[in-house]
């Protein structure tokens, strides 16, 4: 029963759990239930990945309506990998959340918060799992609408305009995507991605398909916050409640990157996207400008959550850079960075959540001497930070290794140089925090703070450890990513 | 003079009049988009966003229409019917649009509570003052 309906359960479980949370009253029951659901979702995604690795692509016909007419859930290595990332981050964040949410969210809104959290999880998983283009739009909006609400729950009043701006930009992005899907439907008469990929062959030269391609690219570029469409991101991540920053930073842009990869390489196909349309020279410059400028801006941020948000914009640049090179190595780098960055940013934002829990601020001046008071939390931050820089033995190194390798393969030496240069900028912004945290004395008259509670430390440290584990053994990250890249580019392993 | 004769005289008319639905869509879309970009009032921005989304609804619905087609009901004597799928898709998209608008308006109400204004430039000004 579970095996048969595995794919649909992945989305239905958090989707159904979301309204149930609203019916629960006691806070312990709400968090316990959310924790249970999110870990069950994680387990399901691991089962899906195991089956995909065994049997190849899985397909599920929604309501027994056979595709391409009915909605199809279709999972290959690429989205199985994304599902594991999203549900895994969801599970760890849910584990971390109770104490932090208790502090940052008004108690009356407790149930609503967790309902939105599960809805956002369901939406993100839905985007990744579905094989139907219109379905992608619906899930995109489910996850986006719930994340607007989650962001607006931040204690700082600036969270409200940030959520509003995200709403405007996100809706424009999603509507652009909708226009693109409509134009594809007009030319092919199908909404199923695999089916559209076949039927598009006959009509690829038409201007309608060109317009569709443009609308989808720009729409999703807004959603992934590709430079220069990233303006909504820093405030949204910076002023959201801590656990929301961690969850959204690690998942929502990642699934949108997945949608881009899916449309470029499965629906439109390599020859059209990267051959005729020369997408590489559209994405590559934007990715590089994004990497360098966002890293530079990050150096000058005094609010560490905003610093991490700008660093996210830069890291998204790396993923897009990998995609734009469109070689097996480049795509492997892009996909594996999608996963690795999720882990790193999850750990970093959770560490900030723990610091906010004890200190009540994540401003750099308030972090003075924090390394002595909260050694484990600060160590977690340092491990995540080392990952951002790309130090060997961390996941960041693996991603950058593949990206630099891909740039060299394509003969773009200056791109490889810029990747290394931007790593140096990352050293600068991570070092600022390290310096303040370890080498400065706590300000006079500040209350003594102690280490974060164990319930926060365990999920946070686990994520940080994972960034080291996957920095050493790469079979399950880079290995899977490489197989996915080969499948997408149609090159046998 | 009937339309066919006019078209013969001015072939460009097919582009302009024959595809009038697209022109309406484009004008609406750009109007909405302009309002979103140019207005500072957050409620007006949301209205612009609504117009923008509505234009996409029209794009979908008009593409499903077939000239002389009936609604897709099976009955003797009716052979040609319009494609119902775009209309169904748009029903979903309308729901999404309503949800977006309501979340947006709720945010504007909260912003008004906190800042005492719904002008985005004034909100920015208040935030940038230390």
DSSP states along A443-463? PTTPPP--PPPHHHHHHHHHH
Percent of chain A with pLDDT over 70: 99
**Dihedral angle sign, alpha carbons of residues A224, B86, A14, A159:** positive
Judged by CB atoms closer than 8 Å, whether chains meet at B86 and A145 is answered as no
Instruction: Look at A53 and B11; give whichever has higher pLDDT.
Output: A53
Which residues face A132 on adjacent strands?
A: A192
Looking at residue A445, its pLDDT comes to 67
List chain B residues with CB under 8 Å of A236: none
Nearest to B52 among A158, A164, A175 (CB): A175
Instruction: Work out whether the CA dihedral A93, B99, A169, A239 comes out positive or negative.
Output: negative
Strand partners, B81: B70
Position B112 pLDDT exceeds 90: yes
Chain A segment 123-152 residues within 8 A of B by beta carbon are: 134, 137-138, 141, 145, 148-149, 152
Q: State how far Cα A485 lies from the chain centre.
A: 18
Contact list, A145 vs chain B (CB under 8 Å): 96, 99-100, 103
- The pLDDT confidence band at residue B75, using thresholds 50, 70 and 90, is confident
Closest chain A residue by Cα to residue B54: A175
**At a CB cut-off of 8 Å and minimum separation 6, what does A249 contact?**
A237, A308, A309, A312, A345, A346, A349
Q: Does A164 touch chain B (CB under 8 A)?
A: yes
Contact B89 A134 (CB under 8 A): yes
Q: Which of A141, A158, A191 sits opposite B127 (nearest CB)?
A: A158
Residues of chain B in contact with residue A134, where contact means CB-CB under 8 angstroms, are 89, 92
Nearest CB partner across the interface for A175, out of B45, B56, B124: B56
Is any Cβ of chain B less than 8 angstroms from the Cβ of A158? yes
β-pairing verdict for A58-61 and A72-75: antiparallel
CA A351 to chain CA centroid, Å, is 17
pLDDT at B26: 92
CA-CA distances (angstroms) from residue B8 to B15, B23, B127?
A: 13, 21, 62
Instruction: Select from B45, B49, B114 the Cβ nearest to the Cβ of A157.
Output: B114
**Residue A473 in 3-state DSSP?**
coil
Instruction: Give me the residues of chain A with pLDDT under 50, please.
Output: 493
- Min Cα–Cα distance to chain B from A182, Å: 6
CB-based contact, A376 to chain B, within 8 Å: no
Which DSSP string do the residues of A153-209 spell out, in sequence order? T-SSTTHHHHHHHHHHHHHHHHHHHHHHHHHHHHHHS--BHHHHHHHHHHHTTSHHH
Interface size A-B, in CB pairs within 8 Å, comes to: 70
User: Would you state the pLDDT for residue A439?
Assistant: 87
CB contact under 8 A, A134 and B92: yes
How large is the angle between the packed helices A77-104 and A480-488, nearest 10 degrees?
130
- Partners of A60 in the beta sheet? A73
> What pLDDT score was predicted for residue B29?
93
Closest residue, chain B, to A190 (C-alpha): B85
Interface test with A, best of B33, B93, B115 (most A CBs within 10 A): B93
Beta bridge partners of B119: B41
> What tens digit of pLDDT does each residue of B80-108 get?
888 888 989 999 999 999 999 999 999 99
- In this predicted structure, the answer to whether residue B14 has a pLDDT above a threshold of 90 is no
Interchain contact A109–B (C-beta under 8 A): no
Query: What is the maximum alpha-carbon separation in chain B?
Result: 74
Q: With CA atoms as reference, report the closest residue to A135 among A145, A122, A146, A126.
A: A126
- Are B93 and A161 in contact (CB < 8 Å)? no
pLDDT of residue A492: 52
Contact B99 A178 (CB under 8 A): no
Q: How confident is the model at residue B113 (pLDDT cuts 50, 70, 90)?
A: very high
* Consecutive H or E run containing A410: none
Cβ contact A167–B100 (<8 Å)? yes
* Predicted pLDDT of residue A184: 93
**Among A171-185, B16-30, B71-85, whose mean pLDDT is lowest?**
B71-85
Residue B89, token pair as written in the block: 């898709």
Q: How high is the pLDDT of residue A452?
A: 83
C-alpha dist (Å) from residue B66 to A182, B63, B70: 16, 8, 8
B104/A137 CB distance under 8 A: no
Least CB–CB distance from A152: residue in B56, B63, B107: B107
Cβ contact B107–A186 (<8 Å)? no
Residue B81 DSSP symbol: B
Q: Which of B22, B40, B55, B100 to mutate to test the interface with A (most CBs of A within 10 A)?
A: B100
B111 interfaces chain A, CB cutoff of 8 Å: yes
Q: What pLDDT was estimated at residue A493?
A: 43
Token pair in block for residue B80? 């040609």
Place of tokens 């750990």: A347
A397 in contact with B, Cβ within 8 Å:
no
The residue of chain A nearest to residue B123, with distances taken between CA atoms, is A161
**What's the pTM?**
0.93
Distance to chain A for B63, nearest Cα, Å: 7
A-chain CB neighbours of B56 within 8 Å are 175, 178-179, 182
Buried b or exposed e, range A40-77, using 16+ CB within 10 angstroms: bbbebbebbbebbeeeeebebbbeeeebbeebbbbbbb
Supply the ipTM of this predicted assembly. Answer: 0.92
Q: Which of B36, B89, B111 sits opposite A160 (nearest CB)?
A: B111
């Amino acid at each position: 029963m579970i095996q048969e309906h595995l794919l649909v359960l992945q989305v239905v479980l958090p989707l159904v759990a979301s309204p149930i949370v609203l019916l629960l009253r006691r806070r312990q029951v709400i968090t316990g239930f959310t924790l249970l659901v999110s870990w069950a979702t994680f387990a399901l995604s691991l089962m899906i990945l195991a089956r995909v690795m065994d049997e190849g692509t899985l397909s599920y016909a929604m309501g027994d309506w056979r595709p391409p007419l009915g909605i199809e859930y279709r999972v290959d290595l690429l989205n199985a990998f994304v599902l594991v990332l999203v549900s895994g981050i969801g599970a760890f964040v849910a584990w971390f959340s109770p104490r932090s949410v208790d502090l940052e969210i008004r108690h009356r809104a407790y149930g609503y918060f967790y309902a939105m959290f599960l809805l956002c999880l369901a939406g993100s998983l839905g985007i990744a799992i579905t094989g139907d283009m219109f379905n992608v739009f619906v899930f995109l909006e489910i996850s986006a609408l719930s994340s607007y609400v989650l962001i607006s729950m931040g204690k700082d009043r600036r969270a409200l305009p940030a959520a509003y701006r995200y709403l405007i930009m996100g809706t424009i992005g999603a509507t652009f995507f909708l226009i693109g899907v409509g134009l594809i439907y007009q030319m092919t008469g199908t909404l199923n991605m695999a089916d559209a990929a076949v039927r598009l062959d006959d009509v690829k030269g038409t201007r309608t398909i060109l317009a569709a391609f443009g609308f989808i690219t720009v729409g999703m570029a807004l959603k992934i916050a590709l430079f220069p469409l990233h303006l909504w991101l820093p405030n949204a991540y910076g002023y959201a409640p801590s656990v929301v920053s961690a969850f959204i930073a690690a998942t929502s842009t990642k699934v949108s990157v997945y949608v881009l990869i899916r449309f470029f390489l499965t629906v439109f196909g390599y020859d059209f996207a990267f051959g005729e349309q020369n997408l590489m020279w559209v994405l590559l410059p934007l990715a590089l400008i994004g990497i360098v400028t966002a890293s530079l801006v990050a150096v000058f941020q005094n609010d560490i959550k905003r610093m991490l948000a700008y660093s996210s914009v830069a890291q998204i640049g790396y993923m897009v850079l990998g995609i734009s090179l469109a070689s097996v190595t480049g795509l492997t780098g892009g996909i594996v960075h999608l996963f690795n960055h999720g882990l790193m940013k999850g750990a970093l934002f959770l560490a900030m959540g723990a610091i906010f829990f004890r200190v009540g601020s994540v401003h750099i001046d308030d972090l003075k001497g924090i390394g002595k008071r909260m050694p484990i939390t600060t160590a977690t931050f340092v491990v995540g930070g080392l990952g951002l820089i790309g130090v060997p033995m961390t996941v960041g190194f693996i991603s950058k290794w593949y990206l630099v390798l891909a740039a060299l393969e394509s003969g773009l030496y200056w791109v490889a140089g810029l990747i290394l240069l931007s790593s140096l900028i990352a050293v600068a912004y991570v070092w600022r925090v390290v310096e303040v945290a370890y080498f400065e004395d706590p300000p006079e008259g500040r209350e003594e703070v102690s280490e974060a509670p164990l319930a926060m430390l365990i999920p946070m440290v686990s994520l940080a450890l994972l960034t080291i584990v996957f920095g050493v053994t790469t079979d399950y990250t880079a290995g899977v990513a490489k197989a996915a890249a080969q499948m997408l580019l149609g090159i046998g392993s | 003079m009937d339309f066919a004769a006019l078209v013969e005289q001015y072939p460009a008319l097919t582009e302009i009049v024959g595809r009038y639905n697209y022109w309406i869509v484009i004008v609406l879309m750009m109007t909405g988009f302009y309002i979103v970009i140019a207005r500072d009032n957050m409620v007006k921005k949301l209205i612009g966003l609504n117009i923008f989304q509505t234009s996409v609804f029209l794009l979908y619905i008009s593409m499903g229409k077939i000239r002389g087609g009936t609604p897709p009901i099976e009955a003797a004597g009716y052979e040609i019917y319009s494609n119902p799928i775009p209309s169904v898709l748009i029903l979903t998209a309308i729901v999404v649009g309503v949800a977006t608008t309501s979340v947006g308006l709720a945010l504007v109400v909260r912003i008004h509570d906190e800042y005492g204004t719904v002008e985005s430039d004034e909100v920015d000004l208040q935030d940038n003052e230390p």
